[in-house]
Structure 1
Amino acid sequence: METSLTIAQVAQRTGLTAHTLRYYERIGLIAAVSRAPGGQRRYASADMDWLAFLLRLRETGMPIQGMQAFAGLRSQGDASVSERRGMLEAHLAEVQARVEALQQSMQALSTKIAHYRAVEAKVKTKRPSLSGTGPEGKTSDDEHTSQPKQQQQRQPALRARAGQTPGSRR
């Protein structure tokens, strides 16, 4: 890599706009970038490494305030390593929770898709109902709710703790 890159080159390589790069510098996410004799920003390899990490934090959903706090701790050097590690551990736990939730959603979607494939196979082998519903006006979706079974089982317990019976609402 070249010894220094212009803001246009960095924008092209990172996918950030020049405006965003200047904004990141202004709010303290990026330390003051060195300048060429004409005043143009020149990004060094270390700047690019830091930008890559910031983009990773952004991609994992860390808010700008969190990134600013992390950048502030980073500027303190090794004295803040424990705090930075703690921040990253907390953020990792949040990311893992989101990944688990997405995996549950993916499983629910896969189950629903499999159900629809089975319904389509049945429809191809027999004449479909004119109303689009099965017996007693139920659709094929009535048998397969969008909630995972685990969540369905927990709901009566949650209502009981809240003082509700399965048929009551507040």
Structure 2
Amino acid sequence: MLERVSVYTPAEVVEETGFSLDTLRYYEKIGLLDNIERNAAGQRRFSAENVGWLGMIRCLRDTGMPIAEMLRFTELTRAGEHTIPDRIQLLEEHDRRVQGQIENLSERQEYIHRKISYYRSVL
């Protein structure tokens, strides 16, 4: 985990978040990531807030949220606290989809366990 400093290099952010440099550039281009400062040489410098936001994006991405929904969540967040009910609704809908995926995987896992048991029984 990155120690608390005011500015992070792209390499440090890649290390912390697991996103590639290309992904970071893409997220900045489409608006998932904003307020990226640049030094005098034009190199990106990320704030602790940027790194924290990328943690949220990582969670949403890893749980299968489409980019369009991540963009919607981002827009709502930037719009202010009055959008909190909409953010809750968006996250609850996503959570239901994630729960469905977990249940589906659990069923598949049970099938695999039964197959393993069967194969062990024929040995």
TM-score when scaled to structure 1?
Answer: 0.68
Q: Which runs of 5+ in 1 are unaligned?
A: 121-170
Structure 2 residue aligned with 1:61: 64
C-alpha deviations, 1:90-111, integer Å up to 9, x for none? 0000000010011011111101
Structure 1 residue aligned with 2:47: 44
- 1:47 corresponds to which letter in structure 2? N
CA-CA distance at 1:22 after TM superposition:
1.1
Structure 1 residue aligned with 2:9: 6
C-alpha deviations, 1:77-134, integer Å up to 9, x for none? 10111111100000000000010011011111101111111111xxxxxxxxxxxxxx
Which stretch shifts more, 29-38 or 64-73? Answer: 29-38
Structure 2 residue aligned with 1:29: 32
- Which of these two proteins has the greater Rg computed from alpha carbons? 1
- 1:96 corresponds to which letter in structure 2? Q
- Does 1 or 2 have the higher relative contact order (CA < 8 Å, sep 6+)? 2
Q: Which runs of 5+ in 2 are unaligned?
A: none
- 2:25 corresponds to which letter in structure 1? R
1:110 matched to 2:94: no
Q: In structure 2, the residue corresponding to 1:75 is in which secondary structure?
A: helix
CA-CA distance at 1:37 after TM superposition:
2.7
Structure 1 residue aligned with 2:90: 87
TM-score when scaled to structure 2?
Answer: 0.92
Question: Quick one: distance in 1 between partners of 2:65 and 2:76?
Answer: 15
Q: Percent identity?
A: 38
Question: Quick one: distance in 1 between partners of 2:88 and 2:122?
Answer: 51
Aligned residues: 120
